[in-house]
Structure 1
Amino acid sequence: MEDKVEKSLANYDLTVKRRYRHRGGWLLETTQGPKLLREYEQIRGHFAFENKIKEILVLRGFDRVDQVLKNGADQYVTELESGEKYVVYQWFTGEECDLRAKPDLALAGENLARLHHALRDVCVLEEEEPVPAGVPLLERVQKHTRELKRIHTYMKKKKQRTEFEIQAIGCFERFYEKAVEACGRLENCNYYCKIMEEGGRYCHGDYNYHNLIRESSRLATVGFEKAGKGIPLLDLTYLMRKTLEKNGWDRKKGMILLENYAKKVSLTKEEQEFVYIMLLFPEKYWKLLNGYFNHKKSWFSEQSLQKLRSLGEMEQCREQFLKNYENGGSFL
């Protein structure tokens, strides 16, 4: 493997001082700055589209992204005589975005707004579009809600229950009611319906703290493997949920992210309703029950039980955060 790495790097005008494994590839410390070498086989299905999107972003001023470097033959992909293919990305020094730090949250919100603004009205050739993955959001939320009911029924029928099952049954109604409400609201959400009628809009698809690298007071955005047409506000709600979970549903932390996004891209009441719906659905409760149901059901880990207990203890804080919207039909 080391020999193949050396052969692939020989095709680039790079002076490598040190390299080590990182994010499924090799992080390269070079005299021209940090780079990331990856095997093409890991990314080929999405590579051309991802490149196109990043080229457009750079042209529109959103240039702190993991662009692909061309080799000496002016090609993005380097193929060895043995058939293996490699790609080199521009990379960044720094730490992952810290969702507990207010300055990082402000940067993350503003950065996402700039990204979404840069992706507006993007035109990509049909043959360059990636094949859409997964099922529509509404169908997925409805499916998850049915699964909650099915798992609850299964646990209720058991004569001997584990502590995890007892805890899960005890808080079921509280979470299930919110799942049902989220389904009903999403089905009638104007923002969601409009996006689906349009066929989706371009977004990052995996906007999380692992893909945000902080260098001083700036963020670099990487990990565009899931970029494509979808629902832009899912980028925001995904990061908001992670932020709120890590901070005990602290209102101030959640609002820093939301407010800094809204400074750059104004949020209508319909869009804020979508944010509310996605935060209303008990995603973490579903994940815990789904993990339990898809594994050996007579066994549970102490870690899963602790997560479930913490979820129950934190639910009042989550409900309090959601009341910020419920009391006036707006977060802002």
Structure 2
Amino acid sequence: MVRGDSEEYTLYDEVIKKYDYKVYDVIPIRKVLILFTNKGNKILKQINYDIKHLDFISKAMEYLKKNKFLNVIEYEKNIYGNYYTKHNNKYYIVMNLIEGRECEFNNPIELKMIAEGLAKMHNASEGFRYDNNGYRYNPGTLIGNLTIKKEEIKIFKSLVSKYEKKSEFDKIFLENVDYNLKRMDESIKLLSEYQYLKACSWEDKIVLCHNDLVYHNMIIKDKEIYFIDFDYSVIDLRVHDLCNLINKVLKNFAFNFKKARFLISEYNKFYNLEEIDFQILYGMLVFPQDFYSIVKDYYKRKKMWEEETFTLRLKRKVSYKEEREDFLKEFKNYYNL
């Protein structure tokens, strides 16, 4: 039985009959359905990407497990031997449900588990490649991508400056855009000086990156960390994921450098980060990704939030300016950059 709007979940019967188990109950949570079956609890999810992307993720998970890293999602094959089921021109997947709880960034024990788990996952993924590096292979692209992002912000600035009636968001954006453009320039300059491209030629630094390390994508089960939802995963430098994790954690702690140092030190116990790694990580952290993301989402209408929500989020992000500056100074001094 599906709890909720029966019309919304009409897909359930058509999709689930393609799998070889009996379903006792179904509960909608967020954008997925939790299935209670005679073969354990499952997750039914619609995917918003193509089958090649799904194949990339499934092969990456197989590669990790072959190398003894088991703490990741596991796709279920349907009765036809496929990892996906097509219904009304949409694609659905079923995964085993990891019975645990979302991690907590304010818990130092769990931060330790996250850093350790991330390092072990990276180590297990060394050597994974897909489609002769022609798909979701990002090493060498960062400087170009950051340059494009900077140009986007410059275009937004030019357009918004000409608005006759400016919203509160517009005004806050214009007050802060020049400072953030300078930070973008600095980030791009540093990455060039720190021999980013050289690092991209070293195989042990190129791994599978999760690329979306928010708290609800890391599950605590039996005192271990499990990584789920690899929808945004790519092949890239290790420090890509470390930067992503540090930014996700620190925004909840006013950019406390000690939190970043702790994460890095725990990661370092399982992979010895070198000077060039710290240099590139610093260059990445200098880039104001949080400012770029909220501005892009607002002006390109990437998210259907209320105007007030966008404005409050932008206010919060720019309010961390001094704390972020202090964090970057501490990082640079501590790692002798």
TM-score, normalised relative to structure 2: 0.81
Residue identity (%): 22
1:32, 1:245 → 2: CA distance?
40
Give the counterpart letter for 1:45 in structure 2. K
Q: In the alignment, which of 64, 75, 80 is matched to residue 68 of structure 1?
A: 75
Give the counterpart letter for 1:178 in structure 2. R
1:283, 1:82 → 2: CA distance?
37
Given that 1:206 and 1:223 are in contact with CA atoms closer than 8 Å, whether structure 2 keeps it comes out as no
Name the residue aligned to 1:263.
269
Greater mean alpha carbon deviation, residues 136-145 or residues 96-105? 96-105
Q: Secondary structure at the match of 2:26?
A: strand
Q: Secondary structure at the match of 2:35?
A: strand
1:87, 1:78 → 2: CA distance?
5
Q: In the alignment, which of 182, 207, 213 is matched to residue 208 of structure 1?
A: 213
After the TM superposition, which residues 1-332 of structure 1 pair with which residues of structure 2 at under 5 Å, given as runs? Answer: 1-9=11-19, 12=20, 14-22=21-29, 24-38=31-45, 44-71=51-78, 75-77=81-83, 87-122=93-128, 126=132, 131-132=135-136, 136-158=141-163, 161-195=166-200, 201-209=206-214, 210-294=216-300, 301-330=307-336
1:83, 1:173 → 2: CA distance?
45
2:24, 2:52 → 1: CA distance?
31
Q: Secondary structure at the match of 2:94?
A: strand
TM-score, normalised relative to structure 1: 0.82
Deviation of residue 20 (structure 1)? 2.2
1:320, 1:179 → 2: CA distance?
17
Given that 2:18 and 2:78 are in contact with CA atoms closer than 8 Å, whether structure 1 keeps it comes out as no
Q: Secondary structure at the match of 1:264?
A: coil
Deviation of residue 39 (structure 1)? 5.3
1:188, 1:231 → 2: CA distance?
17
Greater mean alpha carbon deviation, residues 262-271 or residues 96-105? 96-105
Q: Secondary structure at the match of 1:273?
A: helix
Deviation of residue 271 (structure 1)? 0.5
Given that 2:212 and 2:233 are in contact with CA atoms closer than 8 Å, whether structure 1 keeps it comes out as no
Q: Secondary structure at the match of 2:15?
A: helix
Given that 1:249 and 1:318 are in contact with CA atoms closer than 8 Å, whether structure 2 keeps it comes out as yes
Deviation of residue 62 (structure 1)? 0.6
2:199, 2:145 → 1: CA distance?
18
User: Quick one: structure 1 residues 274 and 80, their matched pair in 2 at CA, closer, same or farther if it must change by over 3 Å?
Assistant: closer
2:210, 2:227 → 1: CA distance?
12
CA displacement, residues 248-301 of structure 1 (integer Å, 9 cap, x when unaligned): 212233333222211211211110111111111111222233344435xxxx92
CA displacement, residues 178-197 of structure 1 (integer Å, 9 cap, x when unaligned): 11110111123324443168
2:153, 2:12 → 1: CA distance?
48
Q: Across the two proteins, how many residue pairs are aligned to each other?
A: 322
Give the counterpart letter for 2:313 in structure 1. K
Deviation of residue 24 (structure 1)? 4.3
Give the counterpart letter for 1:179 in structure 2. M
Give the counterpart letter for 2:106 in structure 1. R
2:236, 2:268 → 1: CA distance?
20
1:231, 1:50 → 2: CA distance?
17
RMSD (CA atoms):
3.4
Deviation of residue 3 (structure 1)? 2.5
CA displacement, residues 183-219 of structure 1 (integer Å, 9 cap, x when unaligned): 1111233244431687x83313434133211124211
2:29, 2:16 → 1: CA distance?
17
Q: Where does structure 2 lack aligned partners over 5 or more consecutive residues?
A: 1-10
User: Quick one: structure 1 residues 259 and 5, their matched pair in 2 at CA, closer, same or farther if it must change by over 3 Å?
Assistant: same
Greater mean alpha carbon deviation, residues 34-43 or residues 18-27? 34-43
